[in-house]
Structure 1
Amino acid sequence: MLLRLAGPLQSWGERSVFGSRDTLSIPTRSALTGMFAAAEGRRRSEPLDDYTPLGFTVRIDRPGRLLEDFHTVGGGLPASRTVPTSEGKRRSPDSATVISRRHYLTDAVFVVAVTGPDALLSRLAEALETPVWAPSLGRRACVPDEPLILRTRVDDPVTELTQHVPLSLARPPAPGRTTTPVDFIWDTPPHNQTADTQRYETTDVPLSFAPDDRRFGSRPLWRTTEHLPASLYTPRPSSPALITYALSDPANQEPA
């Protein structure tokens, strides 16, 4: 399955707490799992084991820009309406204002190949088409652009990402160039590893979303730069080419 994650704001937190809510530079496994679970209407306390077989390959069309939102809650309110404490009481007037810094990516675009068992992917595609809770890009306020789903069934996702899916670049390739460099993130070792391949780890594997038992594990990632056909570039706004691509999904075609 191919997803296009784009919108005015995205936020892919890894170590967020209330006072400081970070974002990674790419979509996290925990946020994508949360998107699927929300679309299926799962409660936070339900197990996540059946999502374990999913794999993710991320193509970074536009990395976006980092935005920091200086956010305050509770200031200027009477004592009876200030932010509650963990004990259920109310904050005193001199500590009523709660400050947090929330980080977002603006104008970012990612195309994600989601791999896994056919039955699981079909179930998730159906849930995203008719979600119980609307998909979001890391936080509920981060609404995705359309089309979110580009393809529901892809036999060779790497070839689709490198040869067929239109590129939503921030600027056109240099004149006369037949290829353009695009960064990829892999959660399995890429076949074309070079000396420039970067390996690192993230702590974004969700083990439990339960409010009183949130737990995450780590996973390795690999970053490469692939040289894609410059002809894939589509000028902004890019939705017409992408919608055409999405509508040409063979899984949506009537049998002959």
Structure 2
Amino acid sequence: MSVLLLRLAGPLQSWGASARFARRTTEPAPTKSGVLGMLAGALGRDRGDDLADLAALRFAVRTDQPGTRIRDLQTAHHGDTDKAMPLSERFYLADAVFVAAVEGPDGTVDELAAALRAPVHLPYLGRRSCPPSGPVDLGVRSEAGLRAALEREPWQAAPWYRRRHHAASVALPVQADAEPAEQPRADLLRDLPLSFDPRHRRYALRGVVSFVVNAPTLASDHDPTAHLNLLEPESD
């Protein structure tokens, strides 16, 4: 079994697990359905294709930078009649950074990593209006399980955010698929995709457990003297 790590960062993200009419909310962290949808798109799968192999992958997400929840009001018109549609309320996460992990058979994980490096459909962070700010693929970890991979992966927050922390490690919250023994105490989230077919989208409940990992920090890449012209003093 191998683990594929993804860095999910961008100006805006939106990971909805439920929507009610014109109100589109976002979860505080990426959903399994959203990340698997991104992977399915990278593979070039159609919305009506079978998702059983992707849904069987174990999933976890680490919050490296929680970001800020913001609200946007949007208007639209029907293309044929130009009739105004109801005002819609949409929520986003601004300046958030996450590390998502999917664990599965070596061949499947390697195929997903290759697809992210040359995607058929470009990845987006929950909605098409939310592109990532950099490469998503952090690589495959074959020597560790899901939790160990998230513990070993350096903190991926933005440089300005990392400057607030000076210790060698940082405590970061994780949400992960519950193991069978953990199901009685797990929270439930309806974000396990059964079908992305727009005519009949279907999602099942997923057991989720929360814990904290101590991840290594990255050395600061800020050099306060980088733009100074420092000259060696002339010798006598």
Could you state the TM-score of these two structures normalised by the residue count of structure 2? 0.81
> Do 1:45 and 1:210's aligned partners in 2 also have CA atoms closer than 8 Å?
yes
* Secondary structure of 1:150 counterpart: strand
The 3-state SS of whatever aligns with 1:30 is helix
- Please give the alpha-carbon distance, in whole angstroms, between the structure 2 residues aligned to 1:40 and 1:25: 26
Look up the SS of the partner of 2:75 in the other structure: strand
Indicate the percent of aligned positions where both proteins have the same amino acid.
38
Q: Which runs of 5+ in 2 are unaligned?
A: 223-236
* C-alpha separation in 1, matches of 2:138 and 2:106: 16
* Structure 2 counterpart of 1:226: 213
SS in 1 for 2:186: strand
2:17 maps to 1:27: no
Q: 1:3 Cα shift? A: 0.7
**1: distance between equivalents of 2:169 and 2:50?**
44
1:114-129 matches, within 5 Å, as: 114-129=102-117
Q: Partners of 2:129 and 2:200 in 1: how far apart?
A: 24
1:12 aligns with 2:15: yes
- Does residue 168 (structure 1) correspond to residue 171 (structure 2)? The answer is no
Matches within 5 A, 1:194-233: 199-229=186-216, 232-233=217-218
Counterpart mapping for 1:171-186 below 5 A = 171-172=162-163, 174=165, 177-186=167-176
Matched ranges for 1:138-149 at <5 A = 138-149=126-137
Partner residue of 2:63?
A: 60
Contact 2:33–2:191 (8 Å) recurs in 1: yes
Q: Structure 1 residues 164, 125: CA separation in 2 closer, same or farther (over 3 Å shift)? A: closer
Which 4+ stretches in 1 moved above 6 angstroms?
Answer: none
Q: CA deviation at 1:226?
A: 2.7
* C-alpha contact (below 8 Å) 1:166/1:234 kept by paired residues: no
Aligned residues: 214
Q: Residues 123 and 174 from structure 1, CA distance in 2 versus in 1: closer, same or farther, beyond 3 angstroms? A: closer
Kindly provide the amino acid, as one letter, of the partner of residue 188 in structure 2: E
Q: Secondary structure at the match of 1:98?
A: coil
**Ranges in structure 1 where 5+ consecutive residues have no aligned partner:** 75-82, 238-256
